[in-house]
Amino acid sequence: MPLAAAARDALEVSPQEKKILGQAKDLAQTREAETAAAFLQAQAATSRSAPLLFQLALWQAESEATRPQAIERLQQALELAPAFPGAYRNLGILQSQTGDYEAAAASLQKAAQDGLDADVLLALGHVYLQLDNDVAAESALRQCLVIRPRASAIHAALAQALMAQQRFAEARAAANRAVRLEDRPAAALWQLLASAAIAEKNYAAAIDALEAAAVFHPDDGQLLWLLADVYQLAGFRHQAAMAYRQAAAAAPDPERAWQVLAAMVEEEAPEALAFANDIVAAAPASALLLTARAHYQAGQRSQAIALARTALQQKPGDGASALYLARWLIEDGAVDEGERLLWTATATPETAAEALRALLTLAFDRQHYAAALKLVDRLAVIESQTDWSPFRSRLRNLQ
């Protein structure tokens, strides 16, 4: 939000002050701004002039490094002239930019007392949102809309305030107005509209918004990721898978891609393999294992075993890779190698119980009942809530 320019005609400005301001302006045009600011600061320090301090604050506010000094100059100007036009407005805006939202709210409230100013009310609404005072934010923004009913930014901010109050249908209506007031709505506006619809569990409206957004922003990967998520929420698995593939290509996000792949594999989605092949380049061991599982689900067992071996080579001792590879090898008849890998998996807490159960099955099939009894003892430590005594008794009877 722009700062208010110095309104010199609204205060009595002495001829000397006008002269100094003119000299400072000339310096700013012919030399570096720092030189003009230094000149004005020296003059303001000796004359204690509100207009000079105000103008100095405007220049200092242009740099983030000197913004704290700009706030100090405005506070000094207000001590000298509490009714200085625009001072509280600028002070509140600068305080909000530095994260001092409590002070910004107080300054902007004082600025609002001078009369309804849409910029002040909008800034106040944003500050209230930062302070989680959503009701006050809504009030300020609705007053702002009285002045500027067709301002998209105000409707968008109001949507955020209503979202925070969990008034999702009203929030979606406000976000929809914000979108319709723009010739080419920004991606953030479409996301706001979709988020309101998602919160309302109106997935059809969210999909409509995001599909329309894709027309304006076809290369925006974040919109594609969100669209894919909404397809998934709505139960459109195939559309979700296609959108996830497009999103991964447009805006690579390895961590998110692995999470999506994990969900596809757990659901045994037929699209899992194609998605895995899209993202497998430079994959970590955990992602390679997911890709291996996708191949296995697609009936491509040899590829699954090869990828699981690669995952285990990348991360020796990884319990999950060892467990899945062991299962597949045992199914292929490579029981001895599978058994060795199951023992590897027992060293990882997350896979120990499953690996011990698989070893127990092998021992029972081989009629190695003494070994099976030892495995049960280890399982009983991990799964202490399970009553293993009947199984122990059966194994003792078989020995």
The predicted-structure confidence for 118-169, as pLDDT tens digits, reads as follows 999 999 999 999 999 999 999 999 999 999 999 999 999 999 999 999 999 9
Q: How far is CA 222 from the centre of its chain?
A: 10
57 by Cβ neighbours in 10 Å (0-12 / 13-18 / 19+) ranks as buried
Q: Which of 40-44, 132-136, 323-327 has the lowest mean pLDDT?
A: 40-44
Separation of alpha carbons 79 and 84, rounded Å: 10
Q: pLDDT of 44-94, one tens digit each?
A: 767 777 888 888 788 778 788 888 988 998 898 888 888 876 889 889 999
Q: Which of the four CATH numbers 1.25.40, 3.30.420, 3.30.479, 1.10.10 does domain 317-399 have?
A: 1.25.40
Separation of alpha carbons 33 and 218, rounded Å: 42
Q: Which of 264, 36, 225, 337 is nearest to 213 (CA)?
A: 225
Predicted TM-score of the model (pTM): 0.66
* 374 half-sphere exposure, CB direction, 13 A CA radius: 5
Q: pLDDT of 280-294, one tens digit each?
A: 654 566 677 888 888
pLDDT computed for residue 8 by the predictor: 41
Q: Most distant CA pair in the chain: distance in Å?
A: 112
Question: Residue 114 above 80 pLDDT?
Answer: no
